[in-house]
Copies of this chain bind each other. A is one copy, B any other.
Amino acid sequence: MFKKLAVIGCGLIGGSFALALKKAKLVDHVIGFSSTQATLMRAKAGGVIDEMSTSLEQTVRGADLVLVAIPVQSIGQCFKEIREFIDPGALLMDVGSTKQDVEAYAVAFLGDKLSQFVPSHPIAGKEKSGVDHASADLFRNRSLILTPLAQTKPALVETARLIWSTIGSRVHLMSSCDHDNAFAAVSHLPHLIAFAFMNGLIDQPNHEQLLSVAGPGFRDFSRIAASDPVVWRDIFFSNKENLKKQARLFCASLQTLEQLIEEENSDALIKIIELSRSSRSNWHID
């Protein structure tokens, strides 16, 4: 049980975390920080937070649990500003989608509080963002990755694991390096491909006719092509090297398939599609 949860950034993820901890009776009091007064008002009115704050010092002081739920590129500055106010016993977490950059910010700016930081990445989201869409069940039956540093206190890693599993997440541990490589492969590359696919389509003069016959396969394949531009620019820039590596592997694989089609090499093509079919069929989401 935590006395005071400080949520820095009252968006969909920060708000849902607050609601989930309240629902699980893991927290007494929630203070929310936002630089936007309207967001704070909506978070307070919706029962997401108990106290509004526009001061990082006031938010973090006395909190035994601090969640930084802001865009990754703002996390470094935030760490710099909150370091001195973090309680020596507090657990500090973030929710960024990339972890090597967050780890670098932590090493650079958290100083003597570095051992209290457990980097986290909940694999949850909605098509709609903002605190109005926050839900206590957002993390239920979803994966949650912790990427503790060598310096992180093991007891705090266990506490973090307990919190996330109590609110329904399936917790995985890996290094920030493995994390960023894995997400380049299964999330960032699919988004890059989906954006490229939609642009390749829209650039064709008869794209309205093309789209008029698109069916359920197109619907599912291209759903992520509607994702947020700023979020994805940040992820692409931040995980550039892993993404480039995954894109190279994909393009090589695509070229192989195109070659087999060109040659009408039936056996080899069926073998490759069958491998795709069976591995995708055997995959199950958490």
Which of B253, B258, B262, B280 contacts A222 (CB under 8 A)? B280
From A185, which residue of chain B is reached at the shortest CB distance? B210
| CB <8 Å contact, A203 and B249 | yes
| CB <8 Å contact, B186 and A213 | yes
| Bound complex: CA A270 to CA B226 (Å) | 12
Question: Is residue A24 within 8 Å, beta carbon to beta carbon, of the partner chain?
Answer: no
Interface size bracket, A side: 35 or more
| Given known A209-B178, A252-B200, A254-B247, contact A220–B229 (CB-CB < 8 A) | no
A186, A203, A204: which has the most chain B beta carbons within 10 Å? Answer: A186
A222, A227, A246, A266: which has the most chain B beta carbons within 10 Å? Answer: A222
| Residues of chain B contacted by A264 (CB below 8 angstroms) | 237
| CB <8 Å contact, A190 and B258 | no
From A273, which residue of chain B is reached at the shortest CB distance? B229
| Bound complex: CA A272 to CA B174 (Å) | 33
A198, A237, A264, A274: which has the most chain B beta carbons within 10 Å? Answer: A198
| CB <8 Å contact, A251 and B251 | yes
From A276, which residue of chain B is reached at the shortest CB distance? B198
| Bound complex: CA A20 to CA B281 (Å) | 30
| CB <8 Å contact, A190 and B227 | no
| Given known A186-B211, A212-B172, A280-B225, contact A257–B217 (CB-CB < 8 A) | no
Which of B123, B253, B274 contacts A197 (CB under 8 A)? B253
| Residues of chain B contacted by A172 (CB below 8 angstroms) | 212-213
| Bound complex: CA A185 to CA B199 (Å) | 12
| Residues of chain B contacted by A246 (CB below 8 angstroms) | 200
Show 15 A/B contacts (Cβ-Cβ < 8 Å), sorted by A: A124-B215, A181-B210, A185-B210, A190-B197, A190-B217, A191-B217, A192-B254, A203-B253, A204-B249, A216-B285, A217-B224, A222-B283, A226-B277, A229-B277, A230-B270
Q: 16 additional contacts, CB 8 Å, given A181-B210, A198-B280?
A: A142-B215, A143-B212, A172-B213, A182-B206, A182-B210, A182-B212, A186-B211, A187-B217, A190-B197, A192-B258, A199-B275, A200-B250, A201-B279, A202-B279, A203-B253, A233-B270
